[in-house]
Amino acid sequence: MTSTLDAEMATAEVESTTACWNGLAEASLALSLLPPATVCVEQDLIDSCKRWSRPRPVCRHLGLVLTTRSAYRCMVARPFVDAIAERIDLSDDVRERAHTALQEAVMNAVLHGNLELDSALRDDLAGMDKTHDTIEQLLLKPQVALSAIRIDAIWNAAELLIMVRDSGSGFDKKLVPASEEWSAAGHIGSGRGFLILEAFCDRLALLRGGTLIRLGFHL
């Protein structure tokens, strides 16, 4: 069912105020996200972000475009949610749930979207070490390190929506095993991202072939 906020996102639009982030640390990101910014773009993506399709900017909107490299190395969820709280009154409960869910969604976009890594690789300590080495090797490639991830938040008096979009090729949701099947196959250390998202969000949707995750929170 389409919510009132979904309808607002499709119809309302205002001029965006763009800020720039150096991609170095959460503290500098927090400063870049302060009002009156409505969109913050990592400096390495300033030229390319114009080619990114995005939701129409709305009056109650905050966006962030960053590289895979920075999304992996910086904890961007906390400053992004804190920046939303600068613009709207968030309860402690919603703030913490949004932070946890967004961090999980961003890591999902990094690992399974842009880096296209298999969840099964992290089932044990050896696999986690190998995955870490693989990630570091992939991030040495500019075409991978500088691939984009976009985070957009929109809100009204009743609901907050946060959307995370990656640059990957997506997946067929029908081919994703249920959590019980995944655990029964011996995957104990990974593949629980959607369970986490479902637990912390009031509504959750996978769109555009899995390249877009939409997190919803009642206010």
pTM (whole model) above 0.85: no
Q: What is the pLDDT of residue 182?
A: 42
Please tell me the CATH code under which domain 4-218 is placed.
Answer: 3.30.565.10
Residue type, 207: L
CA distance 45 to 27: 19
Higher pLDDT, 120 or 168: 168
Residue 194 has pLDDT above 60, yes or no: yes
CA distance 190 to 182: 9
Would you say 39 and 57 are in contact if contact means Cβ atoms under 8 Å apart? yes
Give the helix ranges, DSSP H, for the chain.
4-11, 26-32, 68-73, 77-85, 92-108, 125-138, 142-145, 179-184, 193-200
CA distance 36 to 53: 22
- Give the residue from 23, 7, 128 showing the smallest Cα distance to 58: 7
| Mean pLDDT value across residues 92-117 | 94
What ranges do the domains of the chain cover?
4-218
